[in-house]
Amino acid sequence: MNGSAARQTAAEPASAAEISEDTTSPAVDDATPLAAEAQEHVDLARRVQATARFPKPAETRVFVVANQKGGVGKTTTAVNVAAALATKDLRVLVVDLDPQGNASTALNIDHTEGTPGVYEALVDGTDLDELVRPCPDLPGLTVLPASIDLAGAEIELVSLVARETRLDKALQSYLEDCEDAGDRIDYVLIDCPPSLGLLTVNALVAGREVLIPIQCEYYALEGLGQLVRNIDLVQRHLNPRLEITTILLTMFDARTRLSSGVADEVRKFFGDKVLRTAIPRSVRISEAPSYQQTILSYDATSSGALSYLEAAREIAVPKES
Ligand code: ATP
Ligand code: MG
């Protein structure tokens, strides 16, 4: 499986900006001519467009998108995988559990200070159906927004009863209400902040599956041991059904040995939990949030959009044997 990440990453003609992003590594892959890259892009487009809809899971799948390392692509992954699933006819809820509110921004949901959101659910016990908002651009996608008010929650939660299980309680009751109303949510993606504090613990208690985005950069693996140990602790003491099921390599640059090296290490450690698709480093992906868009609406045919669609397909469609 090693090395397959390079093959599975959609090729996009590199812009000057992208090329200048990595001048430190001399390792340019001469074996991947532009024509082959273009062909890969076409093949990937064909593959992701071939499926008009993904199957509904037997029960709601709740993913915690976590990695305490900052800037590794947690939010980008949460919003784009969510958007990809929603475009394939599934009902998806994104829970923005980061006071930075980046997922809310990317999905064009108001989250100015004082906007009710996940803070009210955690601290005041407000029902989620009063707080969840539809994403204006994507039918089927809803968002529990976060505003900067959430920054205080980490401290306020400490003195509250059942401080680790408050999100779980709120989410389960909301999911049951949706199901009773005949409007079952298929996927929930919880976007965690870059820390292992009480907010992330609440997410790990509320979730069933952990999705860890790993940036294909030096130091990528540092801190992973601690993350895995924390997940293990939560699993043993608070949520026995929690499991790391999905690893996604992000900001993969097929032209560098560094990216391939990190990908190989990650695959050695996590085996087939690592999605075959790696998300390429792409300027288009990083531009999309400033237009309050996901990559799927910002540039639907770009390598970034196709890769997130393919990653979502790997998550949603059971593996062929
Ligand atoms: P934080 O820990 O602060 O919450 P994060 O892990 O959620 O960060 P993101 O916000 O998703 O990380 O990404 C960090 C930065 O990298 C953002 O500016 C984002 O636009 C950019 N980025 C994410 N994925 C890619 C990619 N595949 N190619 C290029 N830029 C990317
Ligand atoms: Mg984030």
User: Contact, 174 vs 126, CB < 8 A?
Assistant: no
Centroid of ligand 1 to alpha carbon of 51 (angstroms)? 27
pLDDT tens digits for 170-195?
999 999 999 999 999 999 999 999 99
The answer to whether the CB of 76 is under 6 A from ligand 1 is: yes
Q: What is the DSSP letter of 259?
A: H
Q: Tell which atom from ligand 1 comes closest to the C-alpha of 67.
A: 6
Q: Tell which atom from ligand 1 comes closest to the C-alpha of 70.
A: 2
Ligand having the closest approach to the CA of 21? 1
Confidence category of residue 26, pLDDT binned at 50, 70, 90 = very low
- 85/53 Cα distance (integer angstroms): 8
pLDDT at residue number 33: 63
Domain ranges in the chain? 32-49+57-316
- Compute the average pLDDT of residues 255-281: 93
CATH 2.40.160.20, domain 32-49+57-316, yes or no: no
Q: Calculate the alpha carbon distances from 224 to 20, 66, 93, 190, 208 in Å.
A: 29, 10, 26, 19, 19
The answer to whether the CB of 142 is under 6 A from ligand 1 is: no
* Number of neighbours of residue 307 by Cβ within 10 angstroms: 29
- 301/38 Cα distance (integer angstroms): 12
Centroid of ligand 2 to alpha carbon of 76 (angstroms)? 7
pLDDT at residue number 3: 41
pLDDT at residue number 47: 77
- 268/274 Cα distance (integer angstroms): 10
Q: What is the DSSP letter of 318?
A: P
Sheet with 92-96, side-by-side order of all strands: 133-134, 141-144, 92-96, 187-191, 61-65, 209-215, 243-250
pLDDT at residue number 211: 98
The answer to whether the CB of 75 is under 6 A from ligand 1 is: yes
Q: Is the dihedral of CA 258, 262, 265, 267 positive or negative?
A: negative
